[in-house]
Amino acid sequence: MPYACIMSVPNQISCVDCGGIASLISFLPPDTTIEPGTALAYRCADCNERFDVVFEAEDLD
């Protein structure tokens, strides 16, 4: 079964509300593997909004 390691997950994404920088806030142990369907939480530094991003297989290539 294909999977990607944590290194392929972005630490920061663009906030969909304000366009600011949302940083990863989910706690991920070093040996965590991200499989399709895994949800990670991000929080925007500008508007303080929290986003749960579900990674799909195409995001992890």
Residues of this chain that interact with Zn ion (CB under 5 A) are 15, 17-18, 20, 44, 46-47
Q: How far is the CB of 54 from Zn ion (least distance, A)?
A: 19
Give me the amino acid identity at 51: F
Which of 5/25 has CB closer to Zn ion? Answer: 25
Which of 22/34 has CB closer to Zn ion? Answer: 22
Which of 10/20 has CB closer to Zn ion? Answer: 20
Helices (H) and strands (E) in the chain, counts: 0, 6
Strand order in the sheet with 21-24: 12-14, 21-24, 39-44, 50-54
How many Å separate Cα 51 from the centre of its chain? 9
Q: How far is the CB of 46 from Zn ion (least distance, A)?
A: 4
